Structure 1
Amino acid sequence: MDAEVVLQEDTEGSWTLLSLFASSLMVFGGALPYVPQFQEIQRSSNTEGFSTRVCLVLLIANILRIFFWIGKQFEFTLLLQSVVMILTMFAMLHLCCTVQNTNRVSTKQRRLTDLNIEYFWKWSAFEDYLLFCFGFTVVCAGVTLLLLDSVVFVETLGSLAVMFEAMLGVPQLLQNFHNNSTKGMSVKMVLLWTAGDVFKTTYFVLNDSPAQFWVCGSVQILIDVSILLQVLFYSQNTRTKLG
C-alpha cells in the first residue's frame, strides 16, 4: 500500500512538473520566434524583410486579450503570455526604429502627430508607437469599464482579440508578396511560429480554453504554412533566374 502511495505521489509530481513546463512554454514560447528575426535585423542593419505590422497586430490582439481576461478570467498563464508578448513587440519596434533612423538619408521625420494615414505605423520615433498603444489602451479601458457586465461585449472582446492574433502572419505574407522575396525575413521565426501555434492550439484544446483560442490557433497554422510555401516558391524562382 505504501508503495502505491509513493508511486501515486511520484506520478502526481511528474504531472505537476510537466504542467509547469507547459505553462512556462506558453508564457515565453510566443516571444522565442522573434529572437532570430531580432538577430537578423541587428546583423544586416536592414528592416525591409520584416513587417512591423506584425507588431501592430500582436499589440492590439494582446491588449484586447488582457481586457478579455478582466471580463472572463481564463488561465492566468495566457494573461502572462500577453504581457510578455507586448514587451517583445516593443523591443522589436525599438530595434526597427533605431536601425531605420541610423540608415535614413532624409532628415524628414514621420510622426504620429502628422495625422497622415499614409505614414500610419511607419513612424520614425519609437515614442509614437508607445503613445498610440497608450491611447488604444485607455480607450479599451474606458469601454470595458462601461460594458463589463455585458456578456455579449466580453465575448465579442475575446473574439476580436483572437481574430487579430489569427491574422498575425498576414502582414508578413503580404510583405513577402510585395517584395517578391522572403529575403530579410527569418525563416527560423516562421518555423518557430508554426511549432508554437501547433503546441498552443493543442494546449487550448486539452485545457478547455474558450473556443476562440483554438480556432485562432488553427487559422494561424494555415497562415504559417502559406508563408513557408512562399519561402519555397521565391527560393525556387531565384534558382531559376540564376540558372
Structure 2
Amino acid sequence: MSRSVLVTGGNRGIGLDITRAFAEAGDKVAFTYRSGEPPAALTELGCLPVRCDITDTEQVDRAYKEVEEQHGNVEVLVANAGVTRDQLLMRMSEEDFAAVLDTNLTGTFRVVKRANRGMLRARRGRVVLISSVVGLMGSPGQANYAASKAALVGFARSLARELGSRNITFNVVAPGFVETDMTRALPAERQAEIVAQVPLGRYAQPGDVAAAVRFLASDDASYITGAVIPVDGGLGMGH
C-alpha cells in the first residue's frame, strides 16, 4: 500500500537516498529543503518538494499543510534535517551551540509534534530519527552536534513509551561515516584516518542508511520501537 512519507532534509546526502528509496518502493514521498532548487532526480520520481526551514514553527506547519493537501496525513516521518557548526569548546560561541540544537533537536521536536496530529487520529505511524555515531561515542570539536544527536535517543524513547499504545513507533538510526560530497572533499590523509577506525574498513554508502530506515518503517518492524540501529561498520560498538 502506498503511504504518505515525509523526509526532512531530503534534498541531499543521506536524506536524498532515503527519499529515493521510499519513492522507488511506491510510496507517496515529500521532502523538505531549505534553500536552492530541489534535485531533479527526486522530482522526476514524482517526489513532492516542500521548502521549509525546520527552525521556524510556522514554516513547519505550512509544509505539513502542503503535504496533507497533496498526499494526505503523514504516515511515515523521517527526521533527517541537521546542521553542524564544529568548533573546539573554548572557541564555540553560544550562537554556534544554540543554532545546532535548534535545528537538530528542537527542529526534530517541531516536525514530530506536527506529524503526531494525523498519526494519533489514524492510530498508527512510523517515526525514524536520524542521529549519528558521534552522538553515542563523542567527537572532539563537535560537542554541540554530539549533544543534539544524543538527545534524539532520549526523545525517541520517551515518545515510544508515550505513544506505543497508539501503534506509533519511534526509532533511531545512527549512521557512522557515510560517503557523501562532504566526506569526499576531505584530504586523502584524513579519509584514511577515518577508515582505519572502522572495523569493516570502509565508509557506509547512503543506501546502507536508507535500507535501515525503510526496514524500521516497514511492517516487518512493527514490534520494534525505542531502538537505536547503528549503521556505522562497527565504529561505535559498545556505546
**TM-score, normalised to structure 2's length?**
0.33
Which protein, 1 or 2, shows the higher relative CO under an 8 Å CA cutoff with sep ≥ 6? Answer: 1
The higher radius of gyration belongs to 1
Greater helix share, structure number: 1
Greater strand share, structure number: 2
